[in-house]
Chain A
Amino acid sequence: MTARVTSAATPGYPMPRPDPLDIPAELACAAARGPVVRVRLWDSSIAWLVTGWQQAREVLADDRFSADLRRPGYPHVRPGFRGARAAGAVGAGAGGATLIRMDPPEHDQLRRMLTGFFTVHRIGQMRPMIEERTDACLDQLRAKRPPADLIATLAVPLPSLVLCELLGVPVEDRPRFEGLSAELVASHATQRQLIGTLRGLVSYLDELIAAKERDPGDDLLGTLVTEQLWSGRLSRADLLGTARILLTAGHETSASMLGLGLASLLTDRAAWTALREAPEGISNAVEELLRFHTIAQTGLCRVATANVQVGGQLIRSGEGVIVSVESANRDPAAFPDPDTLRLDRGSRRHLSFGFGIHQCLGQALARLELQVVLARVIGQFPSLRIADGQDRVAFGHDRMVYGVTKLEVTW
């Protein structure tokens, strides 16, 4: 008699975060069962959940696991997602996918058009601009009477300002796409709402690209127009899809991590003081904050295109796989004492930027923003603390990317 897998035995995914400054506690239970286990999704479908660091790297580096969400068996993690991802075909190019959901060879061809803008050296040249923009936000903070919300004043606008510089988005257009990109990641939205938001975002980007075609400039979008669009290497539709993914992947992520980093340091006074006294530790501190908090809360999703053995399990062709980055980042085999925030840990081995060919294109920029902003806040507001009273801090549990939605402080 074969054993039946009951819903009690198969945990659901994703899992809630009862402690908002930590990863879901239930993930540890799943990980204890093994580095590759089965989970049940919102629609009762079953997928594989990879919780081990070694196994996560294997899956993400293996071409036999496709990132193409249109393939049958691709795991859709939340109800809004299937709609959002189908709606992702809106402005996503002739193939219907953007960079993050493409496979080789199309993925590699497109990514190589972009990597030159995101090199360590080129991003490093943006440091003065990021410092200046950060100082402008901090001036705004000073102009407000405490308590003031660090999220609205700093964490949300700063990455948006930086992205505008990188892509060549005019400042006057910012409020429009900031609002649209925030709506886009609210996964409680209905399918109809998400499609509407995407249409609005794509419509704006279309106008922006048309403006670049008239007057290119040497920003990222202008350069893509002159070097790739006009040479016929990149279709207008794929250029539009690329612009879309750069905006959505580069704004909310950084805003969320800035908010979480600030909230984390503000609740851990020893860490705050240590960084204040040894500011050269900011680079290590940022890596550890990235590892510990892991904003990706719905996993990195793939679908197997062949039978593959991973972590003692046979994953069959057509089966969905979710790589739990937050869990892999707490694997004691990779990070001794993993559930402790140790700002001097000095490890870059976390998977918060992913792994394999899709590893975050913007990681050098994300790191630089975090280093500049956190260092400047600590340096310029040494007595900063969370404001007294109720409801000063709120978290975004419903979004694709986890983060802080309100952080009211005084100084």
Chain B
Amino acid sequence: MNEESDAFIVTADRDRCCGSGNCASVLPEVFTQDAAGLVVASAARQPARHRAAAAETALLCPAGAITIRETTATGRE
């Protein structure tokens, strides 16, 4: 099993975002806040080691703005 087959993508809905910053606190490798405080999510495929924290950010987000999408084993989009 390699890293690519365990990868996933996060998406963040900036229209829903209320700028709480929970995601940027919990997983700063993937989420930051722009100058207005709204979420900026990395578009890159994320490795397995970020999966638990990413799921936690989706649960913690007060606006329900974060979704996780598993990518396929072949990894090609």
Chain A positions within 8 Å of B, measured between CB atoms, are: 60-61, 108, 111-112, 114-121, 348-349, 354-357, 359-361, 363-364
Contact = CB atoms under 8 A, between A and B. Distances in A.
Contact of B37 (A60, A108, A119, A354): A119
B22 A119 contact: no
Contacts, number: 62
Contact of B62 (A112, A116, A354): A354
Given A116-B35, A121-B33, A349 B59 contact: yes
B43 interface: no
Contact of A118 (B21, B60, B62): B21
Given A115-B38, A348-B26, A61 B62 contact: yes
A60 B26 CA distance: 21
A359 B62 contact: yes
Nearest to B56: A348
B63 to A, nearest CB: 6
A61, A112, A118, A359 pick with most chain B CB within 10 angstroms? A359
A174 B66 CA distance: 40
A357 B62 contact: yes
B67 interface: no
Nearest to B59: A349
Given A60-B62, A117-B37, A363-B21, 7 more contacts: A115-B33, A116-B35, A118-B37, A120-B28, A121-B24, A349-B60, A359-B20
Nearest to A360: B20
A364 B37 CA distance: 12
Given A112-B19, A118-B37, A120-B21, A348 B60 contact: yes
B25 A355 contact: no
Contacts of B21: 118-120, 363-364
B59 to A, nearest CB: 7
Interface in B23-42: 24-26, 28, 32-33, 35-38
A119 B62 contact: no
A57 B20 CA distance: 15
A119 B35 CA distance: 8
B64 interface: yes
